[in-house]
Structure 1
Amino acid sequence: MTVNRADTAVVGGGIVGLAHALAAARRGDRVVLFERDDFAVGASIRNFGMIWAVGQQRGEIYERALRTREIWLDIAAKSGLWAAPTGSLHLAHHPDEVAVLEEFLAITPPARERGARMITPDETRDRSATARTDGLLAAMWSPTELNVDPRLAIPAVARYLVAEYGVDIRFGTTVRGIDLPEVSTTEGEWHADRVYVCSGNDFATLYPEVFARSGLVRCKLQMMRTGAQPAGWQLGPMLCGGLTLLHYAAFDDCVSKAALAARLGDELPFHREHGVHVLLSQTADGRLTIGDSHAYAKTLHPFESEEINEAVVDYLGTFAQLPNPAITERWSGYYPSLRDGRTELVTEPQPGVTVVNGVGGAGMTLSFGLAEEIIGR
């Protein structure tokens, strides 16, 4: 029986797996990547395409996001992948939103050093024709956010790995078991020195006992997309409003956040109950991605709520006005999430095997930097 060989095997063809394949290949390893589906269909293609450094925890996680941004831009320059350095605008239509943003900047020198600052409604209008400036008090401009198109970016990264580094990517191949050096797959046996299991929402195929005690739960979110906007219209900076200040860890230490949470809890109880915060990004062909909601459990029902979708669209209308708001696509996404403040799950169930999971909704923002850290250990 023929046994194939690699220095490093990666399980999972989403962004976490691709990032580990890249880091290993850059180290000089012969790399094989196994993806059970014929192409990536999970959370890595069901997101906004936002490389969202500004929302990440201060310190090493924020720096990891910036390093990930650098790698995205490097891949884009070498492969032609669409990556727009649009930056972002946090729009504040209420005094308590202004207070959180001002406090964030006051306690976050690294963000200020990289250009984040408060701007006036007139300056906001100059940067974004989409932002609603009626009633706008101020906005926080951040230049570090990068917009990619996830449905194009994930396959583009896979092609780049093959062309640039000779990574052997095996789509439609399930890894059935690992007992190093043996890796058993549905397309035969492999020998590898080390394996990175980046299986995303699949907790059952490999090391289910690891996931059972990990604290991971699944997050279900609802998202939407418009058709292409007219006449080549461009969104410019990606946009969000006050609800987003309650979602991202970057704002957790802001004392002023309590007053904002209290007001929004009173005014928007449905949004808060369903974890709704609203972001707006664009795709390479001009469509707009809108979302999202968040529900957490080990098992989640598969049905979408149109009431949630309506809540998302209604809130979007409080801070953005779109040329053509007609929705052409709706979908649910699922990703593993750690609810205790950890930003990732990294564990070794056996010598030479590393499980990497639990990056939550920040996979596009953190995975390249995280993979470099893990591969370099």
Structure 2
Amino acid sequence: MNAPSALVIGAGIVGLSIARALAVRGHRVTVLERFDRAVGASVRNFGMIWPIGVPNGAAYERALRSRAIWRELIEDARLWHDPCGSLHLAYAQDEWDVLEQYEQANRAMRPCSLLDRDAALARSPALVSEGLHGALFNQDEMIVDPREALRTIPAYLHERHGVEFHWRMPVTAVETGRVWSGTRRFDADQVFVCSGPEFEQLYPQLYAAAPLTRCKLQMMRLASQPDGFRLGAALCGGLSLVHYAGFQQAADVAPLRARYEAQFGDLIELGIHVMAAQNGRGEITIGDSHAYAHTHDPFDEHAINAKVLDYLARFARLPDPRVIQTWHGIYPKLTDGSSEFVAEAAPGVTIVNAVGGGGLGMTLSFGLAEEIVDGRYGEMRRAA
């Protein structure tokens, strides 16, 4: 009996996750990607595997499963990674209060611990010492280089699992059991549409009816730091405490948000919260801002990047702060609070999109893909 066949549209992290989940379960998998390589949101992020950003329950279990799959890929495909954990910094009492609440709520469920000022400074040489109350350290977090990973994983999936990739193959039409790229037709038992916001071109009515918008974020990369300087962990300023659902579930962030809106109203309006992650070459990715609309200007705002850099200077000092790259990414965002958009567009045609909501696609996609391919997605969604 022939193995079941599947077509995956899109070679970003969601498409690669679906392709992997299918391939390791014995499917014959073909991936169609419109460009020569992945160039969308999947390569325009921090590279953070970020369980701390999701709430406890099904989302956290999905994040841990994704992390385990990342570890398998890292070992088998020999990807650079840094299991550095994350440091969440407090420079005011209300920030420390949120960190204390988070640690108390999660100490039995997550590998988190509070660090006093001296312990935090010992963890990272980048920290600004003036005014530092302390930090929360969490061990779950891991950094990969998204540009390297999205370049390497397709070759690994092809060599190890026989996944076929067709590059520069834009999909122009989809129906049950078949996909077209212009006049070229591909047949398969199942089709998975994982092409980010571009799925609007294939299913405009479905897209228009869904609670979807687009998020534009601006990010930067700083120079490779001299003399082997390492951050020691992914660093997060206080604004991240009111951004991620994981903190909102465990702590009362309303007083902190009110203070931020009064003190940093311009940053809140621009959706800015500031994090820093370092790759294997010593370069540091920082960001980001968040703007929501169906159509975004293609121009980056220098003033937004300047605000990110100014806030970074509140908690981190780097030997070489030169900006060597700037960019923006655009990804689909659900407006109803859901963590992903999964829909059957036609019999045997599944759309998987908008994974993570807060830009957590790297953190959740591998786990979500297994749930979908195994038929457990509905059960997991009800559990959440």
Q: Tell me, yes or no, whether TM beats 0.5.
A: yes
Task: From 118, 126, 129, give the equivalent of 1:130.
Answer: 126
Residue 336 of structure 1 corresponds to which residue in structure 2?
Answer: 332
What is the distance in 1 between the residues matched to 2:199 and 2:243? Answer: 25
Residue 168 of structure 2 corresponds to which residue in structure 1?
Answer: 172
The within-5 A match list for 1:351-362 is 351-359=347-355, 360=357, 361-362=359-360
The within-5 A match list for 1:126-165 is 126-165=122-161
Task: From 41, 44, 52, give the equivalent of 1:43.
Answer: 41
Moved more, 183-192 or 139-148: 183-192
Residue 368 of structure 1 corresponds to which residue in structure 2?
Answer: 366
Amino acid at match of 1:68: S
Matched, 1:276 2:272: yes
1:210-262 superposed Cα distances (whole Å, 9 cap, x missing partner) = 11111110000010011111122222200001100111011223553111011
The within-5 A match list for 1:284-303 is 284-303=280-299
Residue 62 of structure 2 corresponds to which residue in structure 1?
Answer: 64
Residue 118 of structure 1 corresponds to which residue in structure 2?
Answer: 114
What is the distance in 2 between the residues matched to 1:107 and 1:118? Answer: 12
Amino acid at match of 2:177: P
Runs of at least 5 residues in structure 1 that lack an aligned partner in the other structure? none
What is the distance in 2 between the residues matched to 1:69 and 1:221? Answer: 24
Q: Give yes or no for contact 2:98–2:252 (8 Å, CA) kept in 1.
A: yes
Amino acid at match of 2:270: H
Q: C-alpha root-mean-square deviation of aligned residues, in Å?
A: 1.4
What is the distance in 1 between the residues matched to 2:80 and 2:64? Answer: 18
Residue 50 of structure 2 corresponds to which residue in structure 1?
Answer: 52
What is the distance in 2 between the residues matched to 1:114 and 1:271? Answer: 30
Q: TM-score, normalised by structure 1?
A: 0.96
Q: Secondary structure at the match of 1:57?
A: coil
1:169-201 superposed Cα distances (whole Å, 9 cap, x missing partner) = 111001111222222124721110001100112
Q: How far is 1:203 from its partner? A: 3.5
Task: From 85, 88, 91, give the equivalent of 1:90.
Answer: 88
Amino acid at match of 1:102: E
Q: Give yes or no for contact 1:217–1:298 (8 Å, CA) kept in 2.
A: yes
Q: TM-score, normalised by structure 2?
A: 0.94
Task: From 212, 223, 237, give the equivalent of 1:216.
Answer: 212
What is the distance in 2 between the residues matched to 1:187 and 1:15? Answer: 27
1:85-111 superposed Cα distances (whole Å, 9 cap, x missing partner) = 0100000111111111111222235xx
1:17-71 superposed Cα distances (whole Å, 9 cap, x missing partner) = 0000000001100000000011111000000000010111221111111111111
What is the distance in 2 between the residues matched to 1:146 and 1:358? Answer: 22
What is the distance in 1 between the residues matched to 2:128 and 2:67? Answer: 28
Q: Give yes or no for contact 1:182–1:191 (8 Å, CA) kept in 2.
A: yes
Runs of at least 5 residues in structure 2 that lack an aligned partner in the other structure? 376-384
Q: How far is 1:153 from its partner? A: 0.9
Moved more, 364-373 or 149-158: 149-158
Q: Give yes or no for contact 1:6–1:191 (8 Å, CA) kept in 2.
A: no
Q: Secondary structure at the match of 1:134?
A: coil
What is the distance in 2 between the residues matched to 1:355 and 1:181? Answer: 14
